[in-house]
């Protein structure tokens, strides 16, 4: 039959199919499991749903069939990994990512298996259906056990089963109430025992077999029952006097009798002492009454004798005190007289010494004054010498200061001016050289320009001459006509701003003569400027001839 524990719908479908097809269900083993996955549409992560929720729902759907087929059984395959599990209901719906989160989800699901199995076993009690949870692999393997104390050993997680047993000293308080002695006297006895588990390998193995899985209180209860049993049996063989007067022997006897029995459980009795012994019939108090009376009598006699001896001793002490007092008074008087005599002698000696010391003081004072004056003179001499040294050093200092403030700056200024003059000199030389070079370059350039212009003019004149020779008088006339506006402009330039010229001539005037001369000079000027000889032009010849 198909069953997918990752889908709750698949679980319900499987249960319906199984209940229709199979009339009996004697054993249900919840064995499926995964260690990693994402999140299911049902709301929980895949690991928790497959390992627990699917099994839980399947068990609930088949539970009535299990009860009907009782005796039957439910087996939940869990894991020791449940020790690291924590049920966090808010985290169950979150997806898991990574190795650590997947492992934690696996541990949580196995813890849920354990809790489910325990709760189901309790609810099914009396129905004939039993429920078990197991760790796979933990039920098989070697029976060899390893006992380690005071060290360490390897243990495979989820595979090896490890348990601890405390080796600390345990204190046990034993109480036996209303236990009759050999004489029938009921006693109440309290003892204190110090015990511990022995560490020899054979005895440790015995202790582990007896107490492994139990806590310290369980171990104490077992030892307490054993010690109390032996304590009761020993009390029944002894008298009150033996128990009360020799408690150490009684405790030793209990240790010797109980040690073999607790030793067979791997436990050693370190010590056992009787803490208290009493009764409620006043037997112990009766035993002490006679002794108490004797002690009281001896105490009264002792008090009386002590008072007598004290009175005698007090009288003797008073007599001795008076004798001592009289002797003391006599010695005090003698001491006082000797003191006065000694005091007078001391006074006389003091006066003498005072006078001597006064004279010696005055003499010493005069000597000291003389020494003081001499030292003052020496001090004045030293001060004068110091003053002279200071003045000499001041002169040297002022000389150095003069050198530093006047001479050195003057030398520095002179050196600076010298350097500036040399710099100016070099500068002027460089400037002159640069100017000469500039003038030379300009001259060379101007010469080149003049040379080029001259060559161009020469070429021009050559071309003009060739043209004139080629075209004859017509070319010369064209040149004259082209040049006449320029000639007229040059001639009229000085008179450009003259609005009117009036020539007045009278008898003996030279204006006409000067004008004729000017017209006669025009052809020569044109010939000089253009190279054209106007005198050869008929029109000009007529004009100049008429003027002449």
* Structural domains counted in the chain: 2
Closest CA to 274 of 235, 327, 318: 235
* Same domain for 174 and 126: no
* Per-residue tokens: 511: 């204006």
Give the tokens for residue 63. Answer: 């539970």
Residues 58 and 125 in one domain: yes
Please indicate, yes or no, if residue 159 is contained in any of the structural domains.
no
pLDDT value of residue 449: 82
Q: Say what angle helices 54-68 and 8-21 make with each other, to 10 degrees.
A: 20
- Considering the entire predicted model, what is its pTM? 0.33
User: Which of 236, 239, 272 lies closest to 254 in space, CA to CA?
Assistant: 272
Same domain, 29 and 82: yes
pLDDT at residue 518, rounded to an integer: 67
Alpha helices in 264-282 (DSSP H): none
Q: Which residue, of 281, 316, 332, is where some domain finishes?
A: 281
Coil, strand or helix at 190: strand
Residue 520 vs residues 477, 486, 493: alpha-carbon distances, Å: 18, 19, 20
Is there a single domain that holds both residue 180 and residue 101? no
Q: Is 106 a catalytic residue?
A: yes
Q: How far is CA 10 from CA 17, 94, 110, 501, in A?
A: 11, 22, 22, 140
Antiparallel, parallel or unpaired: β 27-30 and 72-77: parallel
Q: Within this chain, do residues 213 and 111 fall inside the same structural domain, yes or no?
A: no
Least Cα distance to 439 among 431, 428, 450 occurs for: 431
Domain range for 265? 170-281
Q: Is residue 88 part of a domain?
A: yes
User: Does a structural domain hold residue 483?
Assistant: no
CATH number of the structural domain spanning residue 80: 3.40.50.720
CATH number at residue 176: 3.30.479.30
Structure confidence at residue 547 (pLDDT): 46
Residues 20 and 130 in one domain: yes
How many CA within 13 A on the CB side of residue 83? Answer: 8
Question: Is residue 124 a part of any domain in this protein?
Answer: yes
What the block records as the tokens of 230 is 């032996």
CA distance 454 to 468: 20
**Whose CA is closest to 196, among 226, 177, 162, 220?**
220
Same-domain status, 36 and 82: yes
**187 found inside a domain:** yes
Last-in-domain residue among 265, 281, 297: 281
Q: Is residue 536 part of a domain?
A: no
Residue 15: the pLDDT is 93
Residues 130 and 202 placed together within one structural domain of the fold: no
The answer to the question of residue 344 being in a domain is no
Alpha-carbon distances, residue 536 vs 260, 471, 484, 528 (angstroms):
179, 15, 16, 14
Question: Are 123 and 199 found together in one domain?
Answer: no
Burial of 155 from C-beta contacts in 10 A (0-12 / 13-18 / 19+): exposed
> SS3 for 272?
strand
The predicted pLDDT at position 19 comes to 92
φ and ψ at 314, to 5 degrees? -65, -40
DSSP-assigned letters across all residues of 377-421:
HHHHHHHHHHHHHHHHHHHHHHHHHHIIIIIHHHHHHHHHHHHHH
Pick from 217, 221, 198, 222: which is nearest to 208 by CA?
A: 198
Asked if residue 352 is part of any domain, the answer here is: no
- One digit per residue, pLDDT tens: the chain, 548 residues? 889 988 889 999 999 999 999 999 999 999 888 877 665 555 567 888 888 889 999 999 999 999 999 899 999 998 887 788 888 777 766 777 777 777 888 888 889 999 999 999 999 998 999 999 988 865 455 566 777 777 777 776 666 677 788 888 889 888 888 878 777 778 888 888 888 888 887 888 888 877 877 888 888 888 888 888 888 888 777 777 777 777 787 788 888 888 888 888 888 888 888 888 877 777 766 666 666 677 677 777 878 888 888 888 888 888 888 888 888 788 888 888 888 888 888 788 888 888 777 887 788 878 888 888 888 888 888 888 888 888 888 888 888 877 877 777 777 788 888 888 888 888 888 888 888 888 888 888 888 888 888 788 778 777 777 766 776 666 666 666 676 667 766 666 665 665 665 555 555 656 666 666 666 677 676 666 666 666 666 555 655 554 44
Residue 147 CA, chain-centre distance (Å), reads 45
Q: Which of 134, 150, 182 is the last residue of a domain?
A: 134
* Helix, coil or strand: residue 475: helix
**C-alpha separations of 58 from 12, 135, 291 in Å:** 7, 21, 85
Non-local (6+) Cβ contacts of 2 within 8 A are: 10, 14
**40 & 126 share domain:** yes
**Do residue 15 and residue 129 come from a single domain?**
yes
**Phi, psi (degrees; rounded to nearest 5) at 190:** -125, 125
Q: Tens digits of per-residue pLDDT, 128-170?
A: 999 999 888 654 555 667 777 777 777 766 666 777 888 888 8
| Domain match, 13 and 114 both | yes
**Are the C-beta atoms of 71 and 31 separated by less than 8 Å?**
no
Distance of alpha carbon 89 from alpha carbon 52, whole angstroms? 14
- pLDDT score at 49: 85
């Amino acid at each position: 039959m198909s069953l997918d524990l990752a889908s709750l719908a698949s679980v319900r479908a499987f249960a319906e199919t199984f209940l229709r097809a199979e009339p009996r269900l004697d054993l249900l083993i919840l064995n499926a499991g995964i260690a990693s996955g994402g999140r299911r549409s049902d709301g929980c992560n895949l690991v928790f749903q497959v390992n627990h929720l699917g099994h839980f729902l399947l068990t609930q759907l088949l539970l009535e069939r299990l009860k009907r087929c009782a005796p039957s059984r439910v087996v939940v395959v869990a894991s020791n990994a449940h020790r690291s599990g924590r049920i966090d209901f808010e985290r169950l719906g979150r997806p898991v990512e990574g190795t650590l989160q997947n492992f934690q989800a696996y541990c949580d699901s196995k813890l849920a298996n354990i809790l489910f199995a325990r709760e189901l076993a309790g609810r099914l009690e009396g129905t004939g259906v039993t429920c078990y949870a197991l760790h796979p692999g933990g039920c098989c393997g070697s029976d060899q056990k390893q006992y380690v104390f005071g060290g360490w050993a390897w243990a495979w997680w989820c595979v090896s089963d490890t348990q601890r047993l405390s080796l600390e000293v345990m204190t046990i308080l034993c109480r036996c109430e209303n236990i009759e002695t050999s004489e029938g006297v009921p006693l109440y006895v309290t003892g204190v025992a110090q015990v511990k588990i022995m560490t020899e390998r054979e005895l440790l193995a015995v202790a582990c077999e007896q107490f492994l899985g139990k806590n310290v209180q369980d171990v104490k209860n077992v030892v307490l029952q054993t010690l109390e049993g032996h304590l009761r049996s020993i009390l029944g063989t002894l008298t009150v006097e033996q128990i009360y007067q020799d408690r150490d022997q009684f405790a030793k006897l209990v240790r010797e009798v109980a040690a073999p029995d607790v030793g067979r459980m791997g436990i050693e009795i370190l010590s056992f002492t009787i803490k208290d012994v009493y009764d409620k019939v006043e037997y112990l108090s009766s035993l002490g009454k006679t002794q108490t009376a004797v002690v009281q009598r001896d105490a009264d006699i002792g008090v009386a004798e002590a008072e007598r001896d004290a009175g005698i001793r007090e009288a003797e002490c008073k007599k001795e005190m008076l004798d001592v007092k009289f002797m003391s008074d006599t010695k005090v008087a003698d001491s006082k007289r000797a003191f006065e005599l000694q005091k007078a002698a001391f006074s006389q000696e003091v006066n003498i010494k005072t006078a001597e010391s006064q004279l010696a003081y005055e003499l010493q004072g005069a000597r000291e004054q003389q020494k003081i004056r001499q030292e003052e003179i020496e001090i004045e001499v030293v001060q004068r010498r110091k003053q002279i040294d200071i003045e000499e050093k001041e002169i040297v200092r002022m000389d150095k200061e003069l050198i530093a403030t006047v001479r050195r700056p003057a030398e520095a200024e002179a050196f600076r001016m010298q350097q500036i003059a040399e710099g100016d000199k070099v500068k002027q030389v460089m400037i002159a050289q640069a100017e000469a070079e500039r003038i030379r370059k300009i001259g060379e350039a101007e010469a080149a320009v003049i040379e080029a212009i001259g060559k161009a003019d020469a070429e021009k004149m050559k071309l003009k001459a060739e043209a004139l020779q080629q075209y004859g008088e017509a070319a010369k006339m064209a040149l004259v006509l082209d040049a006449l506006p320029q000639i007229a402009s040059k001639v009229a330039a000085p008179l450009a701003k003259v609005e009117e010229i009036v020539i007045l001539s009278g008898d003996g005037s030279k204006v006409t003569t000067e004008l004729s001369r000017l017209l006669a000079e025009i052809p020569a000027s044109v010939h000089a400027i253009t190279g054209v000889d106007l005198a050869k032009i008929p029109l000009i010849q007529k004009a100049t001839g008429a003027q002449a």
